[in-house]
Structure 1
């Protein structure tokens, strides 16, 4: 039998003759990336810069300058040619299967008017049979800024159902055929935590908010494991191209739960996934009873529950303490009662699961904080690294309670720059203190875990990094940024998308930085993140993405 030592000797002999019949990686103990402009963060020590990264068996062995290269042999050496090397980015809040679905369905994100949207819908409908399904419309980007109607859709598609989810997922636009199939009429009462927007005569307009959406969803075509796997692969390929090596999937159904477990067992997950069980899934009790789930390669972790407390600001479903400025008499929607929140928190904590709760409005944040505090006193659970997903509008006096109750604010920087004009319309400037308050959270000692909420926003984490440090949109507006006191430094922003996102998933000793013993998840990009002009961050291109020491994406 040929030994490893004999193979090494053969390789040396061949290479001395100018031959390369045996790939270096087949013989090398180490992989060394050198001549890099490398950065990583370390716990409590700020930013560490290096030019050489040493990898073995998928994990980091060392970082340093070129002097360490000779210490590790035999090695496959890769010249990074001075490019910037960063830890793999972690998106702390997204929807993986939803992103994969978006890759193949009608996307209305770029529609600039109702007319634009209708033209895109009509064109898409020509090439599909059955239900016309899509996502991404946003009336705030249209001149009218008003909700569309079933009548608008009926003019282009009336013979089959149309169901189009708003960009934030908290409103559904349907045609009359879909209303008919769902049995929604003038006399239909909206479920608790939902709203059926109505015309002046009381008839349903074609817009369903939050808990009213399932009235139609339950009649839409069901998907199977094959489709879930297809969407997972599409999402994984897209995320790797953006330098995202790990994503926190914010609320999975039982079918996705089964697929994730199967793929983890086969070691075929495309990226690392921290998956949150959905509090609304009928199989939650069974899933909790099955216990926390992990795999040996740290590709999958299921140890938390996603709870939904209110809607979104754009659809006026976020629960507020005071009326919406642009809809007097309306304060938004709580999707669960206080008792329902308390019950699911208690159930999750008793099973040892973390609770990550969607809360956007200031009322929702307060109610959820109250619930955490109440359940801690009865059940415990404070040390589980519980999270508030979004934490967008928080009454200033409640911010300190995040630290007191050990709640991690899981926030999406690009939401601030997408929402800034709409947020002022909804709340008025005088109620924006405590809105998208990243720096305020950090100054009190809270860790901020950053994400994008894809596919609500684009999954590009560099858009989020740019928004975090600039508080500007992609056009550089407003000139000096919006609510500029909440800007992050470049180091703080990168930490939120790496090490602190890992902490929020109980994974800071495995991923999130390039330190000895951690998985070698990293990216090579075309921009010096720490030194390039601010606007360059937004346009950063990922040239390579490595996961566990293996090249998974190469820019063409």
Structure 2
């Protein structure tokens, strides 16, 4: 089966042939990219005819590849109470009350809400909600609400009881459980404890998981996302990656999986990583539709919650430097375990101390096991100085970044870490132009996986929301070509699949999108009003804008 895409403005993301006007697809891959005349010559040579698709002078790009998100969390979140946009604790209480009213049957069923951000509260005191606030909604129905960063959660009394987090057990969790002046848990839990809790209370089963995947994949395709790299293990019941893999495998076998998923497997202990490898999983396992691509590690928290690990105390709260989730020897051991199996790690590191620790652990593994060369990376890598930026290149470490983060972080970065450190942070152009492999993602559902705001943030460095336009570190503004490469071919490189996808190149999978505006020709403000009209995967149109 041959398909001819003609009359397109093709930007291939392949430096050997940057632009074209026609592409010929056989089955699931491109066999010709170039001029319309060249495509017709190829058809004559083959002695075949092709189904013709007139692109009508629209921009054609490789499908977007979101290099870091939480796809199952996003899909599961469609069933949670939406707390995004709440402006007060009272508004959270009102929405959670409705969630309690319609919650599934069963005394142990948690009511979950997510998306609140105390910095957006308009009430006098911009504080975290507490157990007492949720108890006013219900002290008998277990509830958990998560901040928009998903590094902070709040439990009510019923949830604390169900999880056995008490005055007596709280000290065993250290800084991961907050207590009041009397030593009683105030409801706030953090970081790895929150991750464990999400897995413990997950109500997903195989059939539910498949159902939400099918629903969420259409949302992804509507944004032009044909591939994604996702941290999902922690959102399955008891972190059961076998169940997760089975759900994707069954959908693939049914021909129902229409996006390509690379799993960034969250495994925070050496014995768990070793069990994963002993079970036969590595970055060669799976298919072009679904496969594990790396081990995910969490080295710190978030800037908004002041849990990102810093080398110096926070400028607006000198009492803390954030949270280091591992000691350096612990992190070294985790990275080395994966490295010895030639499996990459992707380390969540936002603060400069966490970035430093991640780079140290990667360098240690490279020195101790030089025969292996997995593509290790750092996720977020927000707060950096020039020395840290240079080490990315020296160690050949990938940067998984989220341009949309500056929409919020430009408002808090300087107050959190000071002017000097801010000036060398969120330095994606610096990294890219110094030869570092930089890939774009959204960290959805921390942010929506809307692709155009992400591109806009990269090429303008301006805010998407809020009043008035503000430019954040304009020296880091990227060109549209650079930004699109970070969203396509660099995403494929990050998952070790640049030979299969990421550019419109003969021999690669025919995953591409058609847009209603030419991103290379329009005013930057029009990026936010650009839409994906069609998304094709394996040479089949899987989404068409109504």
Give TM-score scaled by structure 1 length.
0.89
The answer to whether the aligner puts 1:189 opposite 2:170 as a matched pair is: yes
How far has the Cα of 1:377 moved from its partner? 1.1
The answer to whether the aligner puts 1:156 opposite 2:137 as a matched pair is: yes
Please name the residue that 1:83 is paired with.
58
CA RMSD of superposed structures (Å): 2.2
Please name the residue that 1:39 is paired with.
11
Equivalent positions of 1:35-434 (< 5 A) are 35-43=7-15, 45=16, 48-71=18-41, 72=43, 73-129=48-104, 130-143=109-122, 144-190=125-171, 194-213=175-194, 216-217=197-198, 220-252=201-233, 253=239, 254=241, 255-264=243-252, 267-280=255-268, 283-289=272-278, 290-292=280-282, 294=284, 298-380=288-370, 383-434=373-424
Flag the 1:370–1:220 CA change in 2: closer, same or farther, 3 A: same
d(CA) in 2 for partners of 1:204, 1:431: 35
| Runs of 4+, deviation exceeding 6 Å | none
Flag the 1:485–1:393 CA change in 2: closer, same or farther, 3 A: same
Q: How many equivalent residue pairs?
A: 526
How far has the Cα of 1:218 moved from its partner? 6.3
How far has the Cα of 1:185 moved from its partner? 3.0
Flag the 1:555–1:178 CA change in 2: closer, same or farther, 3 A: same
d(CA) in 2 for partners of 1:410, 1:542: 23
d(CA) in 1 for partners of 2:261, 2:275: 21
d(CA) in 2 for partners of 1:284, 1:417: 35
d(CA) in 1 for partners of 2:350, 2:343: 22
Please name the residue that 1:461 is paired with.
451
SS in 2 for 1:518: coil
How far has the Cα of 1:187 moved from its partner? 4.0
SS in 2 for 1:431: helix
Question: 2:407, 2:465 within 8 Å by CA — same for their partners in 1?
Answer: no
Higher radius of gyration, 1 or 2: 1
Question: 1:186, 1:202 within 8 Å by CA — same for their partners in 2?
Answer: yes
Q: Deviations over 1:54-78 (max 9, x none)?
A: 1111111222233234322401111
Q: Deviations over 1:125-169 (max 9, x none)?
A: 211143211211111221343211111111122221111122111
d(CA) in 2 for partners of 1:434, 1:190: 37
How far has the Cα of 1:266 moved from its partner? 5.1
Question: 2:282, 2:293 within 8 Å by CA — same for their partners in 1?
Answer: yes
**More divergent stretch after superposition (140-149 vs 304-313):** 140-149
Flag the 1:78–1:526 CA change in 2: closer, same or farther, 3 A: same
d(CA) in 2 for partners of 1:55, 1:295: 27
Q: Deviations over 1:422-453 (max 9, x none)?
A: 22232222321331110111122112111001
How far has the Cα of 1:341 moved from its partner? 1.3
d(CA) in 1 for partners of 2:371, 2:157: 47
SS in 2 for 1:415: helix
Give TM-score scaled by structure 2 length.
0.91
Flag the 1:264–1:347 CA change in 2: closer, same or farther, 3 A: farther
How far has the Cα of 1:462 moved from its partner? 1.5
Q: Deviations over 1:258-291 (max 9, x none)?
A: 3334444555433111112222377532321214
Question: 2:72, 2:232 within 8 Å by CA — same for their partners in 1?
Answer: no
Flag the 1:267–1:334 CA change in 2: closer, same or farther, 3 A: farther
Please name the residue that 1:30 is paired with.
2
Question: 1:349, 1:380 within 8 Å by CA — same for their partners in 2?
Answer: no
d(CA) in 2 for partners of 1:127, 1:232: 23
Question: 1:293, 1:300 within 8 Å by CA — same for their partners in 2?
Answer: no
